[in-house]
Amino acid sequence: MKGFALFLLIITLSFSASAQVQTDENGFQTFEMKDGDTTYLMKQYFLILLKSGPERSQSQEEAMAIQKGHLANIDSLAALGKLDIAGPMGDNTELRGILVLRVPNLEEAKACIEADPAVKAKRLTYEIHPWWAARGSRLR
Which residues, 6+ apart, have CB-to-CB distance to 60 below 8 Å?
Answer: none
Q: Which residues of 42-58 are buried (b: 16+ CB within 10 A; e: fewer)?
A: bbbbbebbbeebeeeee
From 72, 37, 49, 17, select the one nearest 130 (Cα to Cα): 49
Return the DSSP state at 105.
Answer: S
Question: H/E element holding 68?
Answer: helix 60-79
What pLDDT is stored for residue 9 in this prediction?
37
Q: What is the pLDDT along the chain (140 residues), one digit of tens a residue?
A: 455 443 443 444 445 445 677 787 778 777 776 767 677 888 999 999 999 999 999 999 999 999 999 999 999 999 999 999 999 999 999 999 999 999 999 999 999 999 999 999 999 999 999 999 988 888 77
Instruction: Determine the Cα–Cα distance for residues 72 and 66; give it in Å rounded to an integer.
Output: 10
Give the number of other CB atoms < 10 A from CB of residue 14. 13
Q: Where are the domains of the chain?
A: 41-134
What pLDDT is stored for residue 37 in this prediction?
65
What pLDDT is stored for residue 30 in this prediction?
74
pTM, full prediction = 0.76
What pLDDT is stored for residue 19 in this prediction?
60
The CATH code belonging to domain 41-134 is 3.30.70.1060
Return the DSSP state at 93.
Answer: S
